[in-house]
Amino acid sequence: MIVPELSRTFSEYLLIPNLTDERCVPSGVDLSSPLTRFSDGETSRITLNTPLLSAIMQSVSDDGMAIALAREGGLAFIFGSQSIESQTKMVRRVKKYKAGFVPSDSNLRPDQRLSDVLAIKAKTGHSTLPITADGTPTGKLVGIVTSRDYRISRMDIDTRIDTFMTKLEDMVIGQEGITLSEANDIIWDHKLNQLPIVDDRGHLVSLVFRKDYDEHKSNPRELLDTRKRLMTGAGINTRDYTDRVPALVEAGADVLCIDSSDGYSVWQQKTLAWIRDACGEDVLVGAGNVVDAEGFSYLADAGADFIKVGIGGGSICITREQKGIGRGQASALLDVARARDKYYEEKGIYIPICSDGGIVLDYHMTLALAMGADHLMLGRYFARFDESPTRRLLVNGQYVKEYWGEGSNRARNWQRYDSGESTGLHFEEGVDAYVPYAGSLKDNLDASLSKVKATMCSTGAVTLPELREKARLTVISPTSIVEGGAHDVFSKQNDPR
């Protein structure tokens, strides 16, 4: 069988403007979008404030990226091509980063020394250390040490902590059961940087920090769970899921996703079936990748909570070159979006789809959302930022960051290409490369989202469902692409004078 339609990419389409009305101002655009499946009349258990996910890649998504992206309303999927212990540690660091009520993980006894304070600060970066009778995170609180309690230049490092700490009788504390709002009021009224929370026996329960309140106010899009902790996803494979999934759930991962170049396989169905049998409906898990209606329906029936679309469209991916499988990202997305809508009409279950790959320019984001994507998974885009886990290097006079595919020998992630018997990579499906360094995630993301919102306003839409309903797309010719950029002029940057 030959599919009659051409396999098209995002660069072959433009949006045609619709009537812009009084509602259509960028500040009025709502980019929230469901992450996971829901039945008719219900809502998704996770709603993204920004419809962007970071790719399940070693060179993109660690705990640093997860923290930065969740603060902007999106979600990272911490890469699974590492040990279970290492991955769960990353998940725990995200969940502890901003919890409102933060469990203490840096504690000392009153009989310890200033040298111990300096050692913990050097190791963890924490300058606030609750002092408990036994030095444990839940011991009886007797004092606290902050950077204002000592001066290294004027004190012996062998000085006992109980001689310079702020003692309990001089501290303001909160009682267990206090609400986060009440705790922040106390912090504000007493001009504190932190408020220890104790139980009725005087044992330390948690800490509330002023900076968390301030940071939340400056990051109103933050994606938080019911306990006010940042949300994070985690990648899994179809090999060790019986061990990895329970460990990630216990660590606090909010949603999982099977990481594979080809999701239309019995291995994913078996993985989903095991998760449903072992964990019920409590564990949210995405699957993929697929490029047509058949692949979507297979994973939808298997119980996937969202489905990723795209094979071979990533800038780092050479699956199409190596194996000759895949589909232009725009064509794949349009086909799967129709299948999703049909599935919803017939079964009353809406399963969000994630466009994974093919995003080169910012306007491609808006095109993908208009074509039916509920959210987008990006690799190269996020790999460029300070928050990605790779090194920043100076190469040929230009700052770059390292970026490699999960199908490269460097990643050695053969589980991603599971054929049921593989024990290693027989050939590469990804390359090892550089991407231009771009600075901070927040600055770049704000600029990208501003373009998305402006384009949506030009289509007369202020929500993503409205964008999908109203979008009018036109296929463009190669000469139209040339016409769309600067042409027939001399750029001042290349002034011939």
Question: β-strand 307-309 against 349-350: which pairing, if any?
Answer: unpaired
Residue 262 carries which side chain, given as an amino acid letter? Answer: D
* Phi (first) and psi of residue 475, to 5 degrees: -80, 140
279 counts as catalytic:
no
- Residue 195, token pair as written in the block: 């408020």
354 counts as catalytic:
no
Closest of 89, 71, 30, 38 to residue 228, by C-alpha? 71
Residue 456 carries which side chain, given as an amino acid letter? Answer: M
Alpha helices by DSSP H, listed for 14-161, are 63-70, 84-97, 114-124
Q: CA-to-CA distance for 381 and 445, rounded, in angstroms? A: 9
The three-state secondary structure class of 163 is helix
Q: CA-to-CA distance for 461 and 470, rounded, in angstroms? A: 7
Number of other residues whose CB lies within 10 A of the CB of residue 305: 26
Closest of 325, 269, 262, 326 to residue 288, by C-alpha? 262
- Residue 484, token pair as written in the block: 């769309």
Closest of 466, 438, 263, 471 to residue 362, by C-alpha? 438
Of 24, 257, 317, 457, the catalytic one is: 317
Of 37, 327, 380, 416, the catalytic one is: 416
Q: CA-to-CA distance for 218 and 153, rounded, in angstroms? A: 36
Decide if 406 contacts 430 (C-beta within 8 A): yes
Distances (CA, A) of 238 to 77, 151, 295, 345, 353: 16, 54, 17, 31, 20
- Residue 316, token pair as written in the block: 């780092």
- Residue 398, token pair as written in the block: 């230009």
Residues with catalytic annotation?
A: 317, 416
